[in-house]
Amino acid sequence: VNEPGGGGHLDDVFQRDADCFWRLVENVRLPDDGGALVGVISNGRGLCDPREIPFDKPPGAVRILFLGDSTIFGWLLRHDETIVRQTENRLRERFPARDITCLNAGAPGYTSFQGWRYLESEGLRYQPDLVVASFGFNDSARWQGRGDLEVHRHNQLTRPAVGLRWSRLAALAWSAFHPWPQHEIHDSRPRLLPEEFREVLGRIEATTRSRGIDLLLFVGALRINVDGSKGSAYRRPLQDVQYAFAREIAFGPGSGKAYVDGVRIARDLAKEHTV
């Protein structure tokens, strides 16, 4: 187990990945206090979980795969305080006879594009019965004026052939042959435009639907949704995209709504606790 000191340097926690841009380093455990990242960070496959969960699902077991950013990962929280673990605990209490496991594949800084790439490259191997996706915060963030789709295309072009990926020299050579395309860079360009965000949600839904897996969106809340500074009904554009998208897809045998309204939940809690 990796146990970095000093609260965990980012290089101890994150590793480069040509497909997902970055992933959690495997088997990381940090001190239980003193930082935004605490305790169990990852298991042997990079999930935020102390348990080693095999890809093969036991007969009769139910698996729920959570994709997301810091909200799902549990920034500032111990692994047993996250939305993912609390959901598993509640489900196990309600259905004690069922073998239910919630898998935390959240990663700080992730966009929906990165979540989709993780789902395709590894997440499906866990054979989930349900995928919960929570994105939007980082999708609207800025990243050197380039979008995720462009960065991913460039990463694939500059990735050496399989037999040479161990070589730093090969990586440098491939990069030299495939420089960044010359075009005007706009610093205000988000990682995903609203229409790109909608497209990526469609890719996630197509991936799950083709395998008979339900998809549930968790529409997370921001401070601006509850502090009243923009009015009591204010929603960010990407939140509106998620609501609209979720209403277009079916969820479960009864075709229920395919989203959890985290914005409404946060507003209700703010009223209850007079925040």
Q: Tell me, what DSSP letter sits at residue 254?
A: T
Taking each helix axis as running N to C, give the angle between helix 148-157 and helix 112-121, from 0 to 180 degrees, rounded to the nearest 10: 40
Closest by CA position to 139, among listed 106, 105, 113, 119:
113
Q: What is the C-alpha separation between 48 and 254, in angstroms, rounded?
A: 32
**Which pTM was predicted?**
0.87
| DSSP conformational letter for 58 | P
Residue type, 2: N
In angstroms, the CA 255 to CA 250 distance is: 5
What domains lie within the chain, and their CATH numbers? 10-141+191-272 (3.40.50.1110), 153-189 (no CATH)
Could you identify the residue written with the tokens 């609203």?
194
Helix (H) or strand (E) holding 219: strand 214-219
Per-residue pLDDT 10s for the chain (275 aa) are: 444 444 456 778 999 998 999 999 999 999 988 688 999 999 999 999 999 999 999 999 999 999 999 999 999 999 999 999 999 999 999 999 999 999 999 999 999 999 999 999 999 999 999 999 999 999 999 987 789 998 888 777 666 555 554 555 545 554 555 555 665 556 789 999 999 999 999 999 999 999 999 999 999 998 888 887 877 778 899 999 999 999 999 898 877 789 999 999 998 888 887 65
